[in-house]
Amino acid sequence: KGLKAWAGRFGEETNRLVEAFTASVQFDQRLYSWDIQGSLAHCRTLQRAGILTATEAKTLIRGLEQVQAELDRKRFRFHPGDEDIHMAIERRLTELVGPVGGKLHTGRSRNDQVATDLRLYLRDMLATLRSRLEALQRAFVSQARANLGIVMPGYTHLQRAQPVLVSHHWLAYVEMLERDKGRLADALVRLNVMPLGSGALAGTNYPVDRQYTAQLLSFPAVSQNSLDAVSDRDFVVEVLAALAVLMMHLSRLSEELILWASQEFRFVDLPDRFCTGSSMMPQKKNPDVPELVRGKTGRVYGHLMGMLTTLKGLPLSYNRDMQEDKEALFDALDTAQASVEVLAELVQGLRVNRPVVEQAAEVGGMLATELADYLVLKGLPFRETHAIVGQIVRYCIEKRRELADLSLGELKRFAKQFEADVMERLTVQGAIERKSQTGGTGRQAVAARLVAWEKRLA
Ligand code: ARG
């Protein structure tokens, strides 16, 4: 009882501290259904290779299904000696079906097994994440639809720059998230490769049909080098890197929401149900959700750097260091999934404070570029018009005036080329409409992109 599967060559029992220190079952048990999926395919492969009889394979398959049911129903009892989920499942299988359970691990190592499990797991997790990302994209698209036509100040350096449509701003996040989906899809291409049959490191002595195993597990390809297959965690790094970029996007969004919900900006109202209060200050309504997303971004970056560092000194092939991949990967995935999920609802529920953003778009000299471009149409070189309008802006600051309030007579003092038609240049709507090229903030261009996203995400 409690004897390890590998106890044969050992003269004494494992030290208790070592047992606890090396165990991964606390966190790798989440892989159980993918582990069993892999084992079922391995069983069928062994049977096809003539290593298991049909009866043996059937017994093992039934046993594995029963283990799966126990785990699904949380009836599975882990033993203190269960080192990882792979050993726990095999131990329980053998309890259920007897010594034939010992045949399951024929021609297999935990090294190719865990590599397979992780890939299977990630395939499913990435599909879930993808659909959550699409829900977040849809939330932005519905905000873009609801606010179409509303103008706000656009910023560079967090200084008022040029007016833009609120919808244009929301759709910028849809583009970012689309690239995130693309990065995850790229990672999927390289992780969708089947390692089973690599054994511990050198391959196996049994005539297994690896293509058959791959087919059973819907892998489009099998790994081509057993040493590489058991030591490769590139796919973990790639997923972590894609998640780090995704979190960076979510963090930038969060920063904007925090800023915009502040009383200094008041551009948006976050729904009460997405905010929290203060234990001391009764008036407070705090944006804790975006703050936490911004904070958790650091954690995901840390996992990426941690994983790269864990791998950098490892000789081929498998090393136990690699067991450290799981907590990093699981936590990064959990963090990203939860952040995307909560932000989707928050974005869906937020309200743009129309009078405030529209008023903000009218002030701050944001039409200066329009004025400079107007003089270009009158034949002056842009560098000159820039300088002229710079002086007009300074004049406005000194006189506490807005560009749009200047009279034609005042403008003519700076350049004789100003004519009556300049007045229609000095409107925010006009500034928006002139940005009509693809990708610009012109209403038509934004509406077209909005429709395209609505179709694509429907
Ligand atoms: N729990 C291990 C891991 O996650 C499984 C592989 C262990 N292999 C070994 N030879 N000790 O990496």
Q: Which two tokens stand for residue 184?
A: 């995850």
Residue 117 predicted with pLDDT over 70: yes
Pocket test for ligand 1, best of 320, 321, 329 (most atoms within 8 A of CB): 320
Contacts of 431 (CB under 8 A, 6+ apart): 162, 163, 366, 367, 369, 370
Pocket perturbation via mutation, ligand 1, pick of 10, 84, 87, 230 by most ligand atoms within 8 A of CB: 84
Indicate the domain borders of the chain.
8-106, 111-211+219-355, 360-444
* Mean pLDDT on 21-45: 98
Q: What is the per-residue pLDDT for 3?
A: 72
| In the chain, % of residues over pLDDT 70 | 100
Identify the residue whose C-alpha is closest to ligand 1 atom 7. Answer: 110
**Who's near 291: CB < 8 A, 6+ residues apart?**
254, 258
Q: Please report, as a single letter, which amino acid is at residue 343.
A: L
103 pLDDT above the threshold of 70: yes
Instruction: State the pLDDT confidence band at 278, using cuts at 50, 70 and 90.
Output: confident
* pLDDT tens by residue, 240-250: 999 999 999 99
Q: Which of 157, 249, 407, 436 is catalytic?
A: 157
Residues with CB under 6 A from ligand 1: 24, 28, 84, 110-111, 114, 320, 322-323
pLDDT-derived band of residue 343, with 50, 70 and 90 as boundaries? very high
Is 278 a residue of the active site?
A: yes
Average pLDDT estimate for 128-146? 98
Model confidence band, residue 116 (pLDDT cutoffs 50, 70, 90) = very high
Alpha carbon distances (Å) from 66 to 31, 40, 61, 221, 247: 16, 12, 9, 30, 39
Identify the active-site residue in 131, 218, 262, 278: 278
Enumerate residues 6+ apart whose C-beta is below 8 A from 228: 316, 317
Q: Contact at 8 Å (CB) between 90 and 81?
A: no
Q: What is the mean pLDDT of residues 344-370?
A: 95
Ligand 1, atom nearest to 83 Cα: 1
pLDDT over 90, % of the chain: 92
120: burial class by Cβ within 10 Å (0-12, 13-18, 19+)? buried
Give the pLDDT score at 4: 82
pLDDT of residue 2: 59
Provide the residue count of the chain.
Answer: 458
Residue 1, pLDDT > 50, answer no
pLDDT band at 211 (very low <50, low <70, confident <90, very high): very high
Fold of 111-211+219-355: Fumarase C; Chain A, domain 2 (1.20.200)
Nearest to 345 by CA among 70, 183, 142, 146: 142
Note if 157 is an active site residue.
Answer: yes
Task: Give the range among 107-121, 217-231, 393-407 with minimum mean pLDDT.
Answer: 393-407
Q: Strands, E, within 93-188: which ranges?
A: 151-156, 159-165
If DSSP codes are grouped into helix, strand and coil, which group holds residue 123? helix
Residue with CA at minimum distance from ligand 1 atom 4: 323
Cα distance between residue 256 and residue 152, in whole Å? 14
CB 333 within 8 A of CB 128: no
The confidence score (pLDDT) of residue 50 equals 97
176-202 pLDDT, tens digit per residue, is 999 999 999 999 999 999 999 999 999
Mean residue pLDDT of the chain comes to 96
Locate the ligand 1 atom nearest the alpha carbon of residue 28 and give its number: 4
Asked if residue 456 has pLDDT above 80, the reply is: yes
The single-letter DSSP state of residue 319 is -
Bigger pLDDT: 1 vs 59 = 59
CATH class of the domain defined by 360-444: mainly alpha
CB 120 within 8 A of CB 38: yes
Task: Among 12-16, 190-194, 253-257, name the one with the lowest average pLDDT.
Answer: 12-16
Q: pTM of the predicted model, to two decimals?
A: 0.95
Which one of 1.10.275.10, 1.10.150.570, 1.10.600.10, 3.50.50.60 gives the CATH number of domain 8-106?
1.10.275.10
Question: pLDDT at residue 92 above 90?
Answer: yes
Residue 80 banded pLDDT, cuts 50, 70, 90: confident
Question: Considering only 81-90, 136-145, 274-283, 313-322, which range has the smallest mean pLDDT?
Answer: 274-283
CA dist., res. 234 & res. 117, Å (int): 15
